[in-house]
Structure 1
Amino acid sequence: MNRETFIKLRAKLGKTQKHLAELLGVSLKAIQSYEQGWRTIPLHVERQLYFLAVNQRLDTQARRSKDCWIVKKCAHKKECPAWEFQAGQLCWFLSGTHCEGTADTSWKEKIAICRNCDILTSLL
């Protein structure tokens, strides 16, 4: 995640730097450093920030209509944790999903795919 996306998501959440630091379990100085571009945003912070942003605005019915296996016409859905836990809007949050036909090997590889995926980007 780059600093501009981080700033945009904090604004979307309507949180001060201090409040966001508390939500993410990091220091105020860390938030300031992320926004200034002095520090790289850790993957676990990125993951939590996306989770907060997505869950702030969607109601249950809207989530069901955009499940990843429907949007992507997935042939591997029954092997995927997103299907198993009925979390088609949270596929980007779950490790081991079968995006692009194979299970992800690491969170870093997974989030690189998800940052450009219609499922996540349509929620933000």
Structure 2
Amino acid sequence: MEKTEFSSIRRKLGKTQKQLAALLGMSLKTIHSYEQGWRSIPAHIERQLFFLLIKQRGKNKELIPCWEQKSCPNREACPAWEFQSGDLCWFLCGTLCDCTNDVSYRDKISICRECSIFKRLTE
């Protein structure tokens, strides 16, 4: 995640830097550092930001689970199905779609960013 995307998501969440720092459990200086590009944004922070953004936007949308959208033949073996979190497939590690099983979260999110499900959730 680049600094501009980080700042953009913060604004979409309607949070000041101070409010986002409190929400993420970090210092205001850390948020400044991310937005200025002085520090790289760790994968776990990127993950939390997308989670918050999607949950905020999902309040007004009827979400169709990923296994239905993709007609998944392995749904019962997938963590998204097991935990009935078809809108959080991008968040969960070990999902079975699009070769994201057994990859790091950083690799997984780069695959998920191209997925129509993730794109719909973050639009």
Structure 1, unaligned runs of 5 or more = none
SS in structure 1 at match of 2:110: helix
Aligned counterpart, 2:40: 40
Mean Cα displacement is larger for which, 71-80 or 101-110?
101-110
- Report how far residue 59 of structure 1 moved: 3.0
Question: Runs in 1 of length 4+ with deviation above 4 angstroms?
Answer: none
Aligned counterpart, 2:120: 122
Which of 105, 109, 112 is equivalent to 1:111?
A: 109
Distance 2:84 2:105 in 1: 20
Identity %: 56
Aligned counterpart, 2:24: 24
State the one-letter code of the partner of 2:21: A
Cα 1:60–1:67 shift into 2, 3 Å: farther
- Report how far residue 35 of structure 1 moved: 1.1
Cα 1:116–1:68 shift into 2, 3 Å: same
Alignment TM-score, normalising by the size of structure 2: 0.89
Structure 2, unaligned runs of 5 or more = none
Kindly tell me the number of residue pairs found equivalent between the two proteins. Answer: 122
State the one-letter code of the partner of 1:77: R
